[in-house]
Amino acid sequence: MSEGAPSIRILCASELPASEIAAAAVLTLSEGKIVAVPTDTVYGIAANACCQSAIQRLFEIKQRSADSPLPVLIADWEDVKNVACDIPASARHLAGRFWPGPLTLVLPKSAAISDLVTAGQPTVGLRIPDHELTRAIVRQADFAVTVTSANISGQPAACTPQQVLAGLGSAIDMLVDDGPCPGGQPSTVLDLTVSPPQILRDGPISAHQLEKVIGQVK
């Protein structure tokens, strides 16, 4: 472990076992604290999605309006049923092709997901990141984990630990340092609750790639 800003605990993947990092991150999240984690796209800041004060703090750190929904990370396809309902066949087809990976699917949310996370909307954005360490953290947690990009809203996404610290400073409690993120671009977001499915944010996975799996998207 090394130290950044005084109040931030930094866990380096090059120095500690993944199991030790995952356990420490889950404990920190369970205490309602904020943890910056690497993914296959960009660094994110994570919070316990069952802790109202942690969710509110996530919005404050991001300087993000509370009417903007937060996505939820899951570790495996089987976890979808815990956080979503009325799951269409298209979700399974897309997951089979693009998960783990840079695709966020918007689905009807289950009662387990707080309205605070989804900004009162009946849907939730879900993604399985192609990053084993962060998946281990999410898998070990006995609560849903909401993660949004580790930057102030409107500012460039953070792709390195140094960028996370420069942008957010001591606002976060822990940083999991696994070096630069390979993707460098936030995920494609696809809403499967409308017909045809609608791309809400362009990203690494193109409309053409999506249409090859499920047909027309807009």
Q: What is the pLDDT of residues 120-166, one digit of tens each?
A: 999 999 999 999 999 999 999 999 999 999 999 999 999 999 999 99
| Burial profile 139-163: b = 16 or more Cβ within 10 angstroms, e = fewer | ebbebbbbbbbbbeeeeebbbbbeb
Q: What is the pTM of this model?
A: 0.90
Output the domain CATH number for residue 178: 3.90.870.10
Domain that holds residue 184: 2-214
**Predicted confidence band of residue 65 (pLDDT cuts 50, 70, 90):** confident
Q: Is 46 a residue whose pLDDT tops 80?
A: yes
For residue 48, pLDDT beyond 70: yes
What's the pLDDT tens digit per position in 157-193?
A: 999 999 999 999 889 999 999 999 988 888 999 999 9
Helix extents (H) in 121-172: 132-140, 161-168
DSSP H or E segment with residue 12: strand 9-12
Cβ-count burial of 127 within 10 angstroms (0-12 exposed, 13-18 middle, 19+ buried)?
buried
Q: What is the pLDDT of residue 3?
A: 45
Q: Quote the number of domains for the chain.
A: 1
Sheet holding 198-201, edge to edge: 2-3, 9-12, 174-177, 35-37, 44-48, 145-149, 72-73, 123-127, 103-108, 188-191, 198-201
Instruction: Report whether 59 contacts 148 (CB < 8 A).
Output: no
How many CB atoms sit inside 10 A of residue 84's CB?
A: 24
